[in-house]
Amino acid sequence: MTTAFNPPDKPIKLTALGSCPEQFHVFDDASIWAVRSALATGRPLLVRGEPGTGKSQLARAAAFVLKRPWISAVITSQSTSQDLLWQYDAVARLGNAQVLGSLSKGDIKGWQEQLEDKRFLLPGPLWWTFDWDSAAEQLEATYLKAAEPPLYDKKEADPKNGVVLLIDEIDKAESDLPNGLLDSLGNGGFNPPFGVQPVRQIEQREPLVVITTNEERELPPAFLRRCLVLHLDLPEERDELIGWLMERGKVHFENSSQEIRRQAAEQLVNDRESMLKQGLPAPGQAEYIDLLRALGEMSEEYKIEPGELLEKIKDFALKKQAVRG
């Protein structure tokens, strides 16, 4: 049975959670149907688009609508597919062994129990996604200081509804990570080491897996074939983009003046067009929101009209490439 996904037709306020600040999200029609399709097929949803288009935020907003926990795994060039399943802390085990060796007096059996490898095995994002209760039990059994993934609302975000897993910036990893990820998702589980019980996806809790890419590296064709793909692109036509930015600005800063939102949007689009002509990364929605936030905070603090202030600070938010010549 497909999980219904029916977001409200108004901006969703996402409260601060962990390292994520307060955010607002607006679902467009394409995003709604992409999430619905991912839920219906059980396929991962790969979200493509330039930085600052709301790719990562989409996963968090979907979790809010579905009343599910949201888990975020940020990928780096050092990440491996195993990191998504579990992490083994060999350094902590060695430290414990040294402490026990200095304090104990020949109680070898006691040492062995306290130094069991499984006591230093932390559940990774996919473990929590497949079986939250099993991951919590494994976490409780370790000697490591770690916490469960934070919940935005313990009454609303119920693991029994399933989990929304965000794999952020997968293009930073080598090809073995996306392929390994799909193997685990296709198998519906994995086998942890050190005699720990196999982890299997709980029935009726099929996850929603959202994967983002900034297109820094080509993704394996086999990986792409097994994903649904959503393209989040900014409008290409100048006036349409200005209007789109102004609407997003109003969502985040409802008390800001329409004229200032327009001036900031026009400035961003001017700089964006210039950067694109030079083949350079161009400013987008994220820079626009930063600019409006700075205008709101600083114009009041320094008693400067927003229009005058825009001229003073626009380059800091919009022009980020090295100056040549």
Q: Where are the domains of the chain?
A: 12-86+119-231, 238-318
Query: Which numeric CATH code is attached to 12-86+119-231?
Result: 3.40.50.300
282 contacts 317 by C-beta, under 8 angstroms: no
Instruction: Examine the pLDDT at 100 and tell me if it is beyond 70.
Output: no
Question: Rounded to whole angstroms, how far apart are CA atoms 13 and 10?
Answer: 9
- Residue 150 pLDDT class (50, 70, 90 cuts): confident
* Both structure tokens of 150: 């934070």
* Both structure tokens of 46: 């790969």
Q: Find the mean pLDDT for residues 47-55.
A: 88
CA nearest to 88, candidates 129, 131, 127 = 127
- Residue 279 pLDDT class (50, 70, 90 cuts): confident
pLDDT, residue 169, reads 95
Q: Find the mean pLDDT for residues 259-265.
A: 94
- In the Cβ-directed half-sphere of 279, how many Cα atoms lie within 13 Å? 0
Phi, psi of 101 (to 5 degrees): -65, -30
Phi, psi of 283 (to 5 degrees): -65, 155
pLDDT, residue 133, reads 94
- Residue 325 pLDDT class (50, 70, 90 cuts): very low
pLDDT, residue 146, reads 83
Strands 12-14 and 199-200: what pairing? unpaired
| CB neighbour list of residue 130: distance below 8 Å, 6 or more residues apart | 188, 189, 190, 199, 200, 201, 202, 207
Question: Rounded to whole angstroms, how far apart are CA atoms 61 and 42?
Answer: 18
304 contacts 70 by C-beta, under 8 angstroms: no
* Both structure tokens of 248: 């997003």
46 contacts 225 by C-beta, under 8 angstroms: no
- HEC per residue, 60-118: HHHHHHHCCCEEEEECCCCCCHHHHCEEECHHHHHHHHHHHHHHCCCCHHHHHHHCCHH
Q: With the C-alpha atoms ordered 274, 280, 285, 289, is the resulting torsion angle positive or negative?
A: negative
CA-only gyration radius of the chain, Å: 23
Question: Rounded to whole angstroms, how far apart are CA atoms 12 and 193?
Answer: 41
Q: Find the mean pLDDT for residues 149-163.
A: 83
Q: Find the mean pLDDT for residues 2-14.
A: 89
3-state secondary structure at position 42: coil
Name the pTM for this structure: 0.88
Instruction: Examine the pLDDT at 318 and tell me if it is beyond 90.
Output: no
Instruction: Examine the pLDDT at 324 and tell me if it is beyond 60.
Output: no
Percent share of the chain, pLDDT over 70: 92
**Residue 138 Cα to chain centre, angstroms:** 24
Q: Find the mean pLDDT for residues 225-242.
A: 94
